[in-house]
Structure 1
Amino acid sequence: MRSGRKSSSVDKAFEIVAAVSEAGRSGITLGALAARAGVAVSTAHRYVTSLLELRVLDRDQAGCYRLGVTLIMLAGQYLDEDGLRAVAQPYLAELVELSGETVHLGVPVGHQIVYIDKVESAKSVRLVSRIGNRAPLHCTAMGKAVLALLDPPTIDEVLAEHLDLRTPRTLTGDDLLAELALIRRQGFAIDDEENEEGVRCVGLPIRNSAGQPVGAFSVSAPAGRFSIDDCHRLAPRALAMATDISHRLGYGPTVKNGSRPI
């Protein structure tokens, strides 16, 4: 009979995979991987040998480790079957055409937002981001849009953490609480260079049938061509899209005119 306890081996394997993921395209050496995972090099070697055999990891000619094809296949299957992504995709494409800027779709995982889809702007100067990126809830447009709708104990839990000051504009403490209250009133969030200097975003939450925030989407652009006024001008159309996506996921009671509030 299973005890229900977690496997430390499985935990450590996932720590190693996460460390490789964080290293990005440049990969990571065995020594650096062992240091980041907090294990001896011999232990790291034992884990990566198994992960290489499973094609969860790959190793290049320089001996650096990267994510392998198995993870790509599993991620692709997940994204293909993901209802939120399927429902949101046409709206993301429409929003890119409307705004001329890059649009992201993300889901909350713990106290972070994870990018699960992206539609690129056609403009020559674009943002560097990729599906699978993680970003904090407290300083991103998508993250704040989700955070504002979480239950008060969860918000308190997030605010009690050591929140990274990603830029001089990052909000924390009472300033962040006031920002979350504003987001709840207006229905959208603005990242005014709070996560990355020179980048401004407007984000909208997506709710499920229980009214919980299960995701968000955002329009992101260089701050020099995407002003706060631009964010506010785009917000009504983006809000309508967020409402439609949420309704397709089952959120909101139907009223007499056939519309449903968000």
Structure 2
Amino acid sequence: MTENGRKSSSVAKAFELMQLIADAGADGVGLQPLAARAGVAVSTVHRYTASLLELGMIERNANGCFRLGVGLVTLAGRYLEDDLLRTVAHPFLVELAEVSGETAHLGVPIGNRLVYVDKVESAKSVRLVSRIGSQVPMHCTSMGKALMALMPPEQRDALLAGDLDRPTERTRVGADLLAELDRVRAQGFALDDEENEDGVRCIGLAVVNAAGDPVGAFSVSAPAGRFSVEDCHRLAPKAMAIAARITDRIGYTGGPRRTTL
């Protein structure tokens, strides 16, 4: 959006061109016909299509015609996967909140951070302050550590590169964090023992997609004074069973899983 609240003409034109390319079907459309349909100069269309090609939003077929690219498929697939994850996981978040008496969250990874996409509040009067859409670090949260423990090493190492923030004195980094991820992988769940926020303790577990890749995670979080490490361990078997059920329902069909859930 521009400062006056109107949509960007450049973004609108790019989407108009992609719509025209989509309308052309599998055979695609050439540069000059596309310019004619869009009602703009060939040089303008060439500039836009060069950027869209570089981004993978469109591609050229053997005849040099434009058609939609795999970048759009990737984006659409991620949206559908996240939407399916929310739909499938929500009843289980309700169940976790009822069983534990505490707040249950669902999150998905975006870069080196985790975004809350669903939440079921505790019925207790003292609750955690969090909101859907907010972002938290991966390396010091239970959901983030549960996800990183199941990632391919190169993806995990990229997330851990550089200086990591230490929100509290208990935040693990470096060799301590790597050892913690090994424990998470072995036991099937992660703890945030006041590592992201003083006075808050969480247990988190990852879920995987049909390919066995970690795509999201859920957690139970509460004030540390009423949710001990022992409470987390007592809840773990129930949470692990729920993680397996969510995983099965979002399409995991067998083969070697990266998760130990």
Q: TM-score, normalised by structure 1?
A: 0.68
Q: Is the 8 A contact 2:168 2:197 kept in 1?
A: yes
CA distance in 2 between partners of 1:261 and 1:138 (Å): 20
Please report how far the alpha carbon of residue 161 of structure 1 lies from its aligned counterpart in structure 2 after TM superposition. 2.3
CA distance in 1 between partners of 2:6 and 2:151 (Å): 36
Equivalent positions of 1:57-136 (< 5 A) are 82-136=83-137
Equivalent positions of 1:1-262 (< 5 A) are 47-51=2-6, 82-253=83-254, 262=261
Please report how far the alpha carbon of residue 189 of structure 1 lies from its aligned counterpart in structure 2 after TM superposition. 0.3
Q: Is the 8 A contact 1:243 1:261 kept in 2?
A: no
Q: Is the 8 A contact 2:109 2:115 kept in 1?
A: yes
CA distance in 1 between partners of 2:236 and 2:3 (Å): 47
Larger radius of gyration: 2
Please report how far the alpha carbon of residue 155 of structure 1 lies from its aligned counterpart in structure 2 after TM superposition. 1.4
Please report how far the alpha carbon of residue 250 of structure 1 lies from its aligned counterpart in structure 2 after TM superposition. 1.8
Q: Secondary structure at the match of 1:244?
A: helix
Runs of 4+ in 1 over 6 A off after TM superposition: none
The RMSD of aligned alpha carbons is 2.3
CA offset digits 1:7-59 (Å, max 9, x no partner): xxxxxx6xxxxxxxxxxxxxxxxxxxxxxxxxxxxxxxxx3213589xxxxxx
Which residue identity lines up with residue 162 of structure 1 in the other structure? Answer: D
Percent identity reads 62
CA offset digits 1:123-144 (Å, max 9, x no partner): 0000000000101110001111
CA distance in 2 between partners of 1:167 and 1:127 (Å): 17
Q: Secondary structure at the match of 2:254?
A: coil
Q: Is the 8 A contact 1:206 1:242 kept in 2?
A: yes
Q: Is the 8 A contact 1:106 1:215 kept in 2?
A: yes
CA distance in 2 between partners of 1:102 and 1:235 (Å): 15
CA distance in 2 between partners of 1:170 and 1:82 (Å): 31
CA distance in 1 between partners of 2:143 and 2:243 (Å): 12
Please report how far the alpha carbon of residue 252 of structure 1 lies from its aligned counterpart in structure 2 after TM superposition. 4.7
CA distance in 2 between partners of 1:99 and 1:51 (Å): 46
Q: Which runs of 5+ in 1 are unaligned?
A: 1-12, 14-46, 54-77, 255-259
Which residue identity lines up with residue 237 of structure 2 in the other structure? Answer: P
